[in-house]
Structure 1
Amino acid sequence: MIEFLLVLLTGTAAGALNAIGGGGTFVALPALVAFGLPPVTANALSRVALVPGAVASAWVYRRELTPVGETSTKALMAISMVGGGVGAGLLLALPASSFDAAAPWLLAAATLILAFGRRLSQTLRNALGRSVSMSPRAVLIGQFFLAVYGGYFGGAVGITMMALWGIGLGLDAAASNPMRVVQLAAVFFSAAVLFLFASDVLGAPLVLAAMLVGAVAGGWAGAHLARRLPASLLRGSILAIAVAMTVMYFLRG
């Protein structure tokens, strides 16, 4: 019962983090490994369990979605789902440590872009005398590779999404947070479908159920909290989470 409650609380924290700024996988994955699950199983189970939480957050945000530049939202979701499925397939086929060395540096770069991306975009715009903006095709290509990473590992993929949109399109982190949550749900959904049929996540039903329930509660509550935060405070919270996740990833490595 104590382990069940601890997993429930971990799922709640992970769901809330994903709704506010990302990083839920970093909370869920080490906890599942600590409870005795093999790393690949823990990785897959965390992705399956966090899907309903991401969907709950997306439902809360449904009236606040803003397009990612001129990119079709339907095309973006389709790319996210395809990439998530590809990444999940790679997780099942490749060594679990393949991205371990690259993950901290990817997150560090994303954090710097989140902090300075809009300023850098403005500097480039002033220097070139024209707007600097990614084309819809470039956005979709970038989204595909991020979705592959999200399906394979998932850690801070939402943060890297906002970093890409910030540097490439000048989007504000607070304004793009609802769309980040929706795309995160799409990435996790396709990965979860594959994991349910091709991995052993159903071998730990109580752990899966506890984290799933917690993630839904956390995702719902976290999204409502994020909606009530002033934009400047939400931006600061997202950046603070990104910095904390970066430090943890380097310490973990």
Structure 2
Amino acid sequence: MLTLLLIVSAFFAGVLNAVAGGGSFLTFPALIMAGVPPLNANATSTVAVSPGALASAFGYRRELGRIRGIHLPSFLGISLVGGLLGALLLLWTPQRVFEAIVPWLLLFATLLFAVGPKASAWIRRHCTVGHGAVLAIQFFIAVYGGYFGGGIGILILATLGVFGLTDLHAMNGLKSLVSGCLNAVAVCAFVAGGAVYWTEALIMLAAAMAGGYAGASIARRIPPPHLRRFVILVGAAMSVYFFATKT
């Protein structure tokens, strides 16, 4: 039964990440329900869903060529450094401390996912920043991404919008590329730190890849707003559950 839970959650996480994002809201709680400690569940979830973002970035390779104004090597470099730092911070966090902050991380990620698109649109209309400020903001986003990562795609899109980019497809391509690189460097740190539960990770990795492949056709049948509401509902339920079990 627990294996089925991991397969189903990872499959639909792959679908969500291909369409609307938020797949970690399914894989992270499923791993905890399967008995994986929270810190290890976070690391294992990252391993399970990481190939999807890079695959998505490859699909956007033409749009990435339309990026203007951002020095891509600098943007990726600062993201990799921040992502590695965030992953190391997670590994250095005591298990009991991480268990205590998990409800707050889930609540923050859920709220971010819920208000992100409208907040991003407002920020794009009212704020602009230079390249140096974008790199500084992206560094802190990358640290958060390496540490937990829920809602990171929304943060990256908001930053790109503040910088003045308007080509949504190109922005999504860059977001996918950065997220994939962040996940990759975090995976390396988690593997080196022995934080990954490999049996669960491999089961979920295969299911997530299948879900990501199916996501393209599913996206044609289910409007993304419906999927976003589902992710928000799951995130809110998980936040309530972890707050309740914490007390």
Paired residue secondary structure (2:69) = coil
The structural deviation recorded for 1:159 is 2.1
In the alignment, structure 1 residue 162 sits paired with structure 2 residue 174: no
Alpha-carbon contact 1:19-1:219 (below 8 Å) kept = yes
In the alignment, structure 1 residue 77 sits paired with structure 2 residue 80: no
- Structure 1-normalised TM-score? 0.79
The structural deviation recorded for 1:172 is 6.3
1:86-113 alpha-carbon deviations (Å, 9 max, x no partner): 1111111123134643552465256434
How do residues 1-253 of structure 1 correspond to structure 2 at under 5 angstroms? 2-65=1-64, 70-94=69-93, 95-96=97-98, 97-98=100-101, 100-101=103-104, 104-105=107-108, 107-109=110-112, 111-119=114-122, 121-122=124-125, 124=126, 132-169=127-164, 171=166, 176-201=171-196, 204-222=197-215, 236=225, 240=229, 243-244=232-233, 247-248=236-237, 250-252=239-241, 253=243
- Structure 2-normalised TM-score? 0.80
Gaps of 5+ in 2: none
Alpha-carbon contact 1:25-1:46 (below 8 Å) kept = yes
1:11-46 alpha-carbon deviations (Å, 9 max, x no partner): 121122222222111111100010111111111111
Name whichever of 209-218 and 84-93 sits farther off.
209-218
Alpha-carbon contact 2:124-2:158 (below 8 Å) kept = no
Question: In the alignment, residue 91 of structure 2 is paired with which amino acid?
Answer: L
Question: In the alignment, residue 28 of structure 1 is paired with which amino acid?
Answer: T
Gaps of 5+ in 1: 125-131
The structural deviation recorded for 1:167 is 4.4
The structural deviation recorded for 1:211 is 0.7
Percent identity, aligned pairs only, is: 34
